[in-house]
Amino acid sequence: MIISSPQSMQKKALKWLKAGKSVGFVPTMGALHEGHLSLVRASKRDNDITVVSIFVNPAQFGPTEDYGSYPRSLKMDLSALKLFSVDAVFIPDVSDIYPEDFQTTVNVGKLSQPMCGKSRPVFFGGVARVVLKLFNLVMPTRAYFGLKDYQQFLIIKQLIKDLNLPVIIVPRAIIREKDGLALSSRNAYLSKEERKIAPRVYAALELGKEAAKSGKNPKQVQRIIEDHLKKNFVIDYVTVADPLTLASLKTFRGKALLAVAVWLGKTRLIDNLLVNQDTH
């Protein structure tokens, strides 16, 4: 079923809750790809009910960003979801989520400041605000997020912990093309030539992973990734960070996050790898 009204969504959620049903929730901005669908599969496996939302959230786009041109393919999205027999697709209007008198903001603190937070200062506050609202409407038992947006996953995990939300967050691995490119709705922006170059982002991370394994320190690993990327991309950031705090690492100890954001033409690409590394 398709639900557009927040009130109707909440009423349905309360009905499921009273019936003791477990509800899996996959929040999306549409333009669905195999990464999204892997989350739907996981939800269908784990829960009695699966809800997918499709909402391009204006609050997470800066004034010069691509809200107006963000890929939208509702007809194709609904066809894909029909194959999975999801129980509800929630497609609210912007005016339903943010009425004229909407005033609440969400400050997500330190985790929102490094990495994507530096160049996209409104992004995570906007994400946290809409996720919090969606959680209140869908009332999920479990919510599913891909790890391509690793920083976003950490922030939502912190939001759930800080506000004692009764939601289990389920992270899922990055889904990639055969050549290593992480799936993203924004990949639709890439020209044919850019699409051939884009997998070099993942190749750079793999080089960094090998460098870490060979005994290089975090600063050296960062430099190796940067050197590989700067030949083809405009670098937003490259970081070797603690996967729990996102603080830059000076030495390897246990797990480390290698994360990058780059521009290829007009397309911003993000990717990451987790590495397990002993102290060096």
Whichever domain contains 196, its CATH number is 3.30.1300.10
Q: Which domain holds residue 86?
A: 2-172
179 located within any domain: no
Among 146, 166, 172, 173, CA closest to 22: 166
Q: Do residue 100 and residue 226 come from a single domain?
A: no
Q: Do residue 98 and residue 43 come from a single domain?
A: yes
Paired tokens of 195: 């699409």
Alpha helices in 19-149 (DSSP H): 34-46, 74-83, 94-97, 116-119, 123-138
Mean pLDDT of all residues belonging to the chain: 96
Q: Do residue 102 and residue 36 come from a single domain?
A: yes
pLDDT in tens, 196-217: 999 999 999 999 999 999 999 9
pLDDT in tens, 163-201: 999 999 999 999 999 999 999 999 999 999 999 999 999
Q: Do residue 165 and residue 38 come from a single domain?
A: yes
228 is catalytic: no
280 located within any domain: no
- Integer Cα distance of 232 and 193 in angstroms: 12
166 located within any domain: yes
pTM of the model: 0.95
Q: Do residue 162 and residue 262 come from a single domain?
A: no
Contacts of 67 (CB under 8 A, 6+ apart): 56, 58, 61
66 located within any domain: yes
Catalytic residue among 33, 36, 228, 280: 36
Whichever domain contains 103, its CATH number is 3.40.50.620
Counted domains in the chain:
2
Q: Do residue 114 and residue 252 come from a single domain?
A: no
pLDDT in tens, 228-266: 999 999 999 999 999 999 999 999 988 999 999 999 999
Q: Do residue 262 and residue 199 come from a single domain?
A: yes
Q: Do residue 248 and residue 192 come from a single domain?
A: yes
Q: Do residue 123 and residue 212 come from a single domain?
A: no
Domain finish residue from 146, 172, 198? 172
Domain finish residue from 151, 172, 193? 172
278 located within any domain: no
Q: Do residue 55 and residue 192 come from a single domain?
A: no
